[in-house]
Amino acid sequence: MNKKIMVLGSINVDTTYHVQRFPQPGETIAAGSKSSAPGGKGANQAVAAARSGAQTSFIGMVGADNEGKFMREALQEDHIDTRFVGIDELHGTGTALVTLDSNGQNDIMVYGGANQAMTTDVLNGTSEAFEGVDFLISQFETPQPVTAEAFRIAKEHGVTTILNPAPAHDILPEVLKYTDVIAPNDSESYGLTGIKITDEDSMLKTAEWFKQKGINYLLITLGSKGAFYSTPKAHGLVPAFKVKAVDTTAAGDTFIGALASQLDNDLSNVADALVYAQRASSLTVQKMGAMPSIPTGEEVKAALAK
């Protein structure tokens, strides 16, 4: 049966400048081209889950502007329930300025706008919507007090919560209290724990650090080295798929959304779900743009079958 996933998070319109290399401080360089696409960590994760077959709903905010209308329609095109995407009359829709070099690496500057102005009021009337939801996902492009309250409501309804602590910030204790699964990348993990990821021992120490905080399920993405997982019953490293990256934007978001679409409710199939998520992410980096590059479940399964 298809998973029922709710995402609380950011909605951005991404504008990408394509350059040969990043500019030095004080330097002006020419961009070869410019493109715009729907994005935002939350929106990307929701689309990744939906395209992999999950019944997906979204909690977020946009501005009362053309970008907001564009983003709501973009989510609806992927059959995502946008009933709880509110409209902020005072702040514009979030935007991201992406600089993309010829190696597929990016620098991103984000204007939070309506995302950062979000309050717990956005959760008014959502309680019934949590009924039957398997997983609630959130990130750090929206205020943590909203995530804390959403996670608290989720736990009342027996929903498993997944925290993607990106971009890296200190985590409010009340967010940690209601987090079941935490999924940072290696640099975010280091920022949170102070433990540098260098080998299996450092990963196990990181898992122990989070267990002390009450989180028993840890997933760390390690780029080309794959993904590490630690659960109460097992730990291991799932290798990455070797591909030539064109644009790494949304790779991590695709990973999270695709993963949630495949996880069993008891999280017993983490290793298999990670293989699927890694494959989905490897397809994303081979295309341009955030949301447009996210693969469908059929594309991921076809790639896995090769």
Closest residue by Cα to residue 46 from 54, 37, 34: 54
- Tell me which of 253, 264, 266, 272 is the catalytic residue: 253
Binding residue numbers for K(+): 247, 249, 284, 287, 289, 293
Residue 50 tokens read as 């939906």
Binding residue numbers for ATP: 185, 221-226, 252-253
Residue 250 tokens read as 């949304």
Binding residue numbers for substrate: 12-14, 40-44, 141, 253
Q: What is the CA radius of gyration of the chain?
A: 18
Distances 104 to 204, 252, 275, 292 between C-alpha atoms, Å: 31, 14, 23, 16
Residue 161 tokens read as 């919560």
What pairing do the DSSP bridges indicate for beta strands 181-182 and 217-221? parallel
Q: Is 253 a catalytic residue?
A: yes
Give 37's Cβ-side CA count (13 Å radius): 19
Binding residue numbers: 12-14, 40-44, 141, 185, 221-226, 247, 249, 252-253, 284, 287, 289, 293
What pairing do the DSSP bridges indicate for beta strands 227-230 and 12-18? unpaired
Are the C-beta atoms of residues 272 and 62 closer than 8 Å to each other? no
Q: Give the Cα separation of 72 and 86 in Å (integer).
A: 10
Closest residue by Cα to residue 102 from 244, 226, 242, 224: 244
The values of phi and psi at residue 99, to 5°, are: -105, 120
Are the C-beta atoms of residues 295 and 44 closer than 8 Å to each other? no
Q: Which residues are catalytic?
A: 253
